[in-house]
Every structure is written in structure tokens, then in C-alpha cells.
Amino acid sequence: MSHHIVEARNLIYTYPDGTEALKGVTFRIAHGEAVALVGSNGAGKSTLLLHLNGYLTPAQGDVVIGDTVVTRETAASARRAVGLVFQDPDDQLFMPTVAEDVAFGPLNAGLPPEQVEQRVVRALERVGMLHVRERPPYHLSAGEKRAVAIATVLAMSPDILVMDEPSANLDPRARRRLIELLHSFEHTRIIATHDLEMVVEVCSRVIVLDGGKVVADGPVRELLNDEALMSAHGLERPHILRHSHPH
């Protein structure tokens, strides 16, 4: 059995205020895949991400992680398997020090102190942030905050990494570091983003959402090169592809 597979089966979700955010979303992501979730604002990306760890429960349809359907009862194990990195690192970092923030997840999982410490060190090392472990998170730069936010999730050793706009608000160098970091992961990765240039570098597959539906699902270079498809859904063909594919 593998926890690394994520499947959405005809997900439908309506917010209490009547907004229909998801109108039947279906996909299957296999072990180790790096998949981009793209679409204009309000396409349903963030809503979809919140379904993957059981924070939201679909009105209809199922999310399957590994071979378990995510329900209220199985949400706890889904949250262990799926690490969610949120858009704004300030929402994720709220403890007095970086180390305590990274320890938050492992402590919740009930691990003994020595093991927690080990996980904290390993996760911070992995993102190159061990030197800020005793600093308060709100004094870090945007790039450092992002890296630490990723470490807080890595410390829970998830099988699947889900990220919402990981490159938002980063300066070019911090963005470059993030791309290298994302490249180095062996987890199944699902990345919701508007940064299509990053998608070309990190992902192999892209799912295009529009109006709460999957409108395209396929290889990155094929879909993102499709000028008509891109502009029909409020997106743009990335520059990287224009230059590497002369007409």
C-alpha cells in the first residue's frame, strides 16, 4: 500500500454563502509526481487544497489518500500523510521561536522529546535554516519565513506535500532557492500557483482549473504552450517556453 497517491473523485463543494467553489473535480496523482494546479483567481485552487487534508469535507464526491477515503474519522491520518504549506507564512508561524514552531507538529503527534528535537534539526537543515532556530519567526525575511514554513511541515514527515502559492512575495534569489528546494524533494508534490515559469521548472504535469472544474490535465510543456487554452482561462504562456520552442 502507498500513501503517496492522491485521488479526487467528482468533488463538489459550495461555501455557506452559496458560492459554488468546486463543481465536480476529478484527478489522480501518482507516487512522486510533481503536479501544478493552475487557474485564475477564484478558480477553486485553495478550496481544493483544503479538501486534501480533510479540513473541508466535500458536499459530494471523495478525496482518497493512499487507499483511504478522507472523512471526519480519517482526517487525522490524512493530515499526517498530507503536509499543507499555506500561502501566508505568518499564518503558519505563531510560536515564539522557529524551533518551537517546527516542533509543533511532531509534539502534536505525541513523539518523545529526543525524537522531536531530531526532527526539528533535520527539517531545518533540509531547508537550510538551522541557523535561525532560536530566532522569533516574525523577525525573519519573507524567504526565510517561507523556508521555515516548509520545515514545519517537513518535520511531520508527510508523504505528500501540498503548497499554496509557495513563490508568492519572494525576491528572485529566494524564489530560485525555493525552486531548487522543491526540485530536491522526492515527495508527491501538489503546487497551486500563478508562477507558471516555476511550474515549467519544477512540475511535470499541470491541472488547469476554471470555475471549479478541471478544464485541462496533462504534461506541462504541452498545456502551457497552448496559447489558446492559456488565454481562454485567464493564464499566459510562460516566457521560458517561448524561448526554448522557436516557431
Partner 1 sequence: MGIANWIDIGRMDELSRRVTPLHRLDGRAKTFVTLAFIVIVVSFPLHTVSALTPFLLFPLSLLALGQIPLQPILKKILIAAPFALLVGIFNPFLDREPATMIGSFTVTGGWLSFLSILLRFVLTVGAALTLIACTGMNRLSASLEQLGAPRVFVVQLLFLYRYLFVISDEGSKMFRSVELRSEKGRPLSFRVYGSLLGTLLIRAMDRAERVYRAMVARGFDGEIHVLRPTSFGWKDAAFICGWLTFFSVARTWNLAEGMEIVLTRILSSTPQ
User: Judged by CB, which is closer to partner 1: 79, or 237?
Assistant: 79
Q: Does the protein bind partner 1 through residue 225 (CB under 8 A)?
A: no
Rounded Cα distance, 114 and 184, in Å: 27
Question: Is 245 a residue that touches partner 1 (CB under 8 A)?
Answer: no
User: Which residue stretch of 33-41, 96-104, 166-174, 228-236 sits at the interface with partner 1 (rule: CB under 8 A)?
Assistant: 96-104
Q: Are 149 and 157 in contact (CB under 8 A)?
A: no
Question: With b meaning 16 or more CB within 10 Å and e meaning fewer, what string describes 34-63?
Answer: bbbbbbeeebbbbbbbbbbbbebebeebeb
Amino acid making up residue 221: R
Instruction: Report the run of H or E that residue 168 belongs to, with start and end.
Output: none
- Give 80 or 175: the residue with its C-beta nearer to partner 1: 80
Stretch that binds partner 1, among 25-33, 65-73, 91-99, 189-197 (CB under 8 A): 91-99
**How many whole angstroms separate alpha carbon 210 and alpha carbon 123?**
35
The whole-angstrom separation of Cα 170 and Cα 99 is: 22
Please state whether 226 falls in left (phi above 0), alpha (psi between -120 and 50) or beta: beta
Site residues (CB under 8 A) for partner 1, limited to 173-212: none
CB-nearer residue toward partner 1: 99 or 209? 99
Kind plus residue range of the DSSP H or E element containing 242: helix 239-244
Residue 22 host element (H or E): strand 20-29
- Binding partner 1 (rule: CB under 8 A), the pick from 7, 62, 88, 125 is 88
Q: If we measure between CA atoms, which residue out of 80, 86, 81, 118 comes closest to residue 99? A: 118
Residue window 98-127: x/- pattern of binding to partner 1, with contact defined by CB under 8 A: -xx--xxx-xxx---x--xx----------
Instruction: Considering only residues 128 through 157, tell me which ones interact with partner 1, judged by CB under 8 A.
Output: 134, 136, 138-139, 152-153, 156
Q: Which of 3, 4, 45, 80 binds partner 1 (CB under 8 A)?
A: 80
Q: Which stretch binds partner 1 (CB under 8 A): 4-12, 19-27, 84-92, 184-192?
A: 84-92
Instruction: Pick the closer one to partner 1 by CB: 116 or 174.
Output: 116
Report the residue from 96, 115, 186, 222 that binds partner 1 according to the rule CB under 8 A: 96
CB-CB contact of 35 with 13 (8 Å)? no
Q: Which stretches of the chain bind partner 1, using CB under 8 A?
A: 50, 53, 55, 76, 79-80, 83-84, 86, 88, 91-92, 94-97, 99-100, 103-105, 107-109, 113, 116-117, 134, 136, 138-139, 152-153, 156
